[in-house]
Amino acid sequence: MDVKYKSSSFITYIQYIITPIIIGLYFYEVYHYITYGIFTEDFSMFIMPILFWACIGLVICILKLRYVKVTENNILIKKLNSEEIIEYKDIEWINQNIIGSGWYIILIKYKDIKINKSKIILILPEFYTEECSRYFMNTFKELDMTKYIRNQIIKNNQNYIVSEEPSRWMILKLIILSLIPFLLFTFILKISL
């Protein structure tokens, strides 16, 4: 089994460390406010709604985040004590989102044959060349990993239609739309005090 591409070990596993720390800081601030009636020094009440929004986003990401190895025949999802194989013919779509300069997220929606349901996984890919890791100029280009997986899907599933893939702007749109209520709440909180 020759591994063509894989997730970034460091970036993937660091998410499992950073997420609990950020959520812990949020709940510490909530506890501190409830107990003493004020936030800790240098921490503003107006940051709390946005930090709550970030915590929700981090939890959603951590639930979908997977470490994968891409081979010629399938995609192997590595779990703590097991492995899961995704056949290319079972993939419904692949999407490389545009989030910001140099940060790539690949989403794959596939049919889990065991439970007969569709699942979405999030992959933080490893960079393979210096060109891939440069910032802003390559944000809009697809990574070789995304292209390779898509080509394998097309090769194994004749019914796959590239034009039916979600927009590459999907996550950015969801981030902006989901942030608006929290920004409004922060604004209302600020003008009411």
pLDDT band at 50; cut points 50, 70, 90: confident
The residue ranking higher by pLDDT, 3 or 44, is 3
Ordered by where they begin, the domains of the chain are 3-192 (2.30.29.30)
Neighbours of 70 (CB within 10 A): 22
For the packed helices 48-64 and 170-192, what is the interaxial angle rounded to 10 degrees?
160
pLDDT band at 136; cut points 50, 70, 90: very low
pLDDT of residue 132: 52
Task: Report the Cα 144 to chain-centroid distance in Å.
Answer: 18
Q: Which of 98, 92, 62, 67 is nearest to 174 (CA)?
A: 98
Neighbours of 5 (CB within 10 A): 20
Q: Which of 130, 52, 57 is nearest to 99 (CA)?
A: 57
82-96, 115-129, 177-191: which is most confident: 82-96
Average pLDDT over the chain, rounded to whole? 86
The DSSP string of 98-146 is: EEETTEEEEEEEEEETTTTEEEEEEE-BPP-SHHHH--GGGTTSPPHHH
Q: Which of 133, 92, 97, 122 is nearest to 109 (CA)?
A: 92
